[in-house]
Amino acid sequence: MAQINKLGVIGAGQMGNGIAHVAALAGLDVVLNDVSADRLKSGMATINGNLTRQAAKKIISDEARGQALGHITLTDSLDGLADCDLVIETAIEKEDVKRKIFHDLCAVLKPEAVIASNTSSISITRLAACTDRPERFIGIHFMNPVPLMELVELIRGIATDDTTFESAKEFVRRLGKQVAVSEDFPAFIVNRILLPMINEAIYTLYEGVGNVEAIDAAMKLGAHHPMGPLELADFIGLDICLSIMQVLHEGLADSKYRPCPLLVKYVEAGWLGRKTQRGFYDYRGPKPVPTR
Ligand SMILES: CC(=O)CC(=O)SCCNC(=O)CCNC(=O)[C@H](O)C(C)(C)COP(=O)(O)OP(=O)(O)OC[C@H]1O[C@@H](n2cnc3c(N)ncnc32)[C@H](O)[C@@H]1OP(=O)(O)O
Ligand SMILES: NC(=O)C1=CN([C@@H]2O[C@H](COP(=O)(O)OP(=O)(O)OC[C@H]3O[C@@H](n4cnc5c(N)ncnc54)[C@H](OP(=O)(O)O)[C@@H]3O)[C@@H](O)[C@H]2O)C=CC1
């Protein structure tokens, strides 16, 4: 089984910085890549902030915090990932963007390295087919926020070999997370169940059954969910929610997965949730205010 010592992470957004955070804490060398130098800087600032909070709460020691930061290097070029043992792609949930990344990555990455995608919904078999190593390609799907969530889904493509699967399992265990194995179907397990629920909450808002506050309170207090579905949608990112619903709708060809027109409208407005400071809530003031 291939030992993973050096990890590459493509995309320094909320998932990329979370994966870099937990891998560095587990003692792996991490190279974090993004197309934008500003994104790399803000990703690193987020990691630093989250590690500092964990140290302040005595979840980790100051020494562990310092060591983790020392394990992370930044690069704005895929060449910087050439000698990684495993590279996890965490760019936006658009298949054409991911395909281009894998095409360019394969040209520079050592042949024995494993490539993974953190995609929320896209077929692993299809992504693997655009690489030079479908047998060493796998879905490693972390949950958000990565430092706090226990689960990682592992998804084998049709060609993924046993060595790659076992290495990925060992990697996830080393990060202290639990594995759930999913077959390669649209949106896998967690999002196959979670996203239709969120989409239904948006329909509930669209049809005027309740307002934002009522819907979130109903599910928090009435079903004991830690976050209301609209608050959670803002947290995930409304662009990501829409992409997942589109993959479910197209992949399963069932109208029950039709993305709510209100979700489409928010994304078209650029109101993507927390990351753009506006979604079902407006985050620009001292406390989130419902937008409906
Ligand atoms: C879309 C996909 O493909 C798949 C997905 O990921 S779907 C999304 C899955 N995730 C969820 O469903 C999350 C649902 N929410 C929760 O479980 C909880 O609200 C939560 C775990 C996020 C927060 O827990 P909570 O009990 O509400 O506590 P809360 O007080 O808000 O936060 C606990 C601590 O974690 C911290 N925290 C939040 N995000 C963090 C992060 N990224 N890194 C480190 N710490 C973080 C909080 O700041 C807080 O610390 P302080 O008390 O020092 O402020
Ligand atoms: N949000 C969530 O709750 C979860 C998301 N996921 C999945 O993880 C992936 C990332 O999501 P998330 O972190 O939320 O998204 P973000 O939008 O927060 O981050 C994506 C990052 O990738 C960067 N990026 C875009 N194109 C490239 C490229 N060609 N090369 C390198 N970096 C690039 C973006 O830069 P820029 O902004 O400059 O374009 C941005 O920094 C998606 O596939 C998503 O479905 C999985 C689990 C949970």
Q: What is the mean pLDDT of the chain?
A: 97
Task: Write the CB contacts of 212 (distance below 8 Å, at least 6 apart in sequence).
Answer: 205, 230, 280, 281, 290, 291, 292
Residue 3: predicted pLDDT = 82
Measured at the CA of 36, the angle between CA 35 and CA 38, to 5 degrees, comes to 160
Q: Is residue 171 assigned to a domain?
A: yes
Q: Max alpha carbon distance in the chain (Å)?
A: 55
Distance 118 CA to ligand 2 centre (A): 9
Residue 1: predicted pLDDT = 55
On the 0-12 / 13-18 / 19+ scale of CB atoms within 10 A, 15 is buried
Say how many C-beta atoms besides its own lie within 10 A of residue 208's C-beta.
8
What does pTM read for this prediction?
0.96
Verify that 258 and 148 share a domain, yes or no.
Answer: no
Task: Write the CB contacts of 218 (distance below 8 Å, at least 6 apart in sequence).
Answer: 210, 228
Domain boundary among 133, 157, 182: 182
Domain boundary among 152, 182, 212: 182
Residue nearest to atom 41 of ligand 2 (CA): 13
* Residue pLDDT, tens place only, 254-271: 999 999 999 999 999 999
Q: Which residues constitute the domain of residue 131?
A: 6-182
Nearest ligand 2 atom to alpha carbon 142:
47
Tokens 């060591």 sit at which residue? Answer: 67
Long-range contacts of 130-137 (CB under 8 A, 24+ apart): 130/99, 130/102, 130/103, 131/102, 131/103, 131/105, 131/106, 132/106, 133/106, 134/158, 134/159, 134/160, 135/159, 135/160, 135/161, 135/164, 136/112, 136/160, 136/161, 136/164, 137/164
* Residue pLDDT, tens place only, 100-152: 999 999 999 999 999 999 999 999 999 999 999 999 999 999 999 999 999 99
Distance 16 CA to ligand 2 centre (A): 7
153 is catalytic: yes
Verify that 27 and 159 share a domain, yes or no.
Answer: yes
Q: Give me the half-sphere count of Cα atoms (radius 13 Å) on the Cβ side of residue 116.
A: 30
Cβ 238 under 6 angstroms from ligand 1: no
Verify that 16 and 157 share a domain, yes or no.
Answer: yes
Nearest ligand 1 atom to alpha carbon 241:
1
Verify that 53 and 178 share a domain, yes or no.
Answer: yes
Distance 148 CA to ligand 1 centre (A): 6
- The CATH number of whichever domain residue 211 belongs to comes to 1.10.1040.10
Cβ 20 under 6 angstroms from ligand 1: no
Q: Which residue out of 33, 50, 120, 199 is catalytically annotated?
A: 120
Verify that 252 and 107 share a domain, yes or no.
Answer: no
Distance 90 CA to ligand 2 centre (A): 5
Cβ 145 under 6 angstroms from ligand 1: yes
Verify that 200 and 75 share a domain, yes or no.
Answer: no
Say how many C-beta atoms besides its own lie within 10 A of residue 38's C-beta.
9
Verify that 155 and 281 share a domain, yes or no.
Answer: no
Q: Is the pLDDT of residue 199 over 70?
A: yes
- The CATH number of whichever domain residue 143 belongs to comes to 3.40.50.720
Mutate to test the pocket of ligand 2, among 92, 123, 198 (most ligand atoms within 8 A of CB): 92
Verify that 199 and 264 share a domain, yes or no.
Answer: yes
For the chain, first and last CA: distance in Å?
52
191 is catalytic: yes
Q: Where are the alpha helices (DSSP H) in 129-260?
A: 162-174, 190-206, 212-223, 229-236, 238-252
Q: What is the amino acid identity at position 104?
A: D
89 is catalytic: no
Q: Please count the structural domains in the chain.
A: 2
Residue 87: predicted pLDDT = 98
Verify that 37 and 173 share a domain, yes or no.
Answer: yes
Domain boundary among 164, 182, 200: 182
Q: Is residue 55 assigned to a domain?
A: yes
Residue 290: predicted pLDDT = 98
* Residue pLDDT, tens place only, 26-39: 999 999 999 999 99
Question: Does the structure's ipTM exceed the value 0.90?
Answer: yes
Pair of tokens at residue 131 = 């690489």
Q: Which residue out of 17, 123, 191, 243 is catalytically annotated?
A: 191
* Residue pLDDT, tens place only, 78-98: 999 999 999 999 999 999 999
Distance 129 CA to ligand 1 centre (A): 34
Task: Write the CB contacts of 176 (distance below 8 Å, at least 6 apart in sequence).
Answer: 22, 26
Measured at the CA of 249, the angle between CA 247 and CA 254, to 5 degrees, comes to 150
Verify that 23 and 136 share a domain, yes or no.
Answer: yes
Nearest ligand 1 atom to alpha carbon 195:
1
Ligand 2 is surrounded, with C-beta below 6 A, by 10-16, 33-36, 39, 90-93, 97, 101, 118-120, 142, 144, 236-237, 240, 275
Are the C-beta atoms of residues 244 and 196 closer than 8 Å to each other? no
Q: Is residue 187 assigned to a domain?
A: no
CA 81 to chain centre: 19
Verify that 123 and 36 share a domain, yes or no.
Answer: yes
Verify that 196 and 170 share a domain, yes or no.
Answer: no
Q: Is residue 202 assigned to a domain?
A: yes
Instruction: Please give the average per-residue pLDDT across 222-235, as a whole number.
Output: 98
Distance 176 CA to ligand 1 centre (A): 17
Q: Is residue 1 assigned to a domain?
A: no
Q: Is residue 206 assigned to a domain?
A: yes
Q: What is the amino acid identity at position 26?
A: A
Q: Identify the bridge partners of residue 114 per DSSP, sorted by sequence position.
A: 86
Cβ 105 under 6 angstroms from ligand 1: no
Beta-sheet strands, E only, within the chain:
6-10, 29-33, 72-75, 86-89, 114-117, 137-142, 151-156, 178-182, 281-282, 289-290
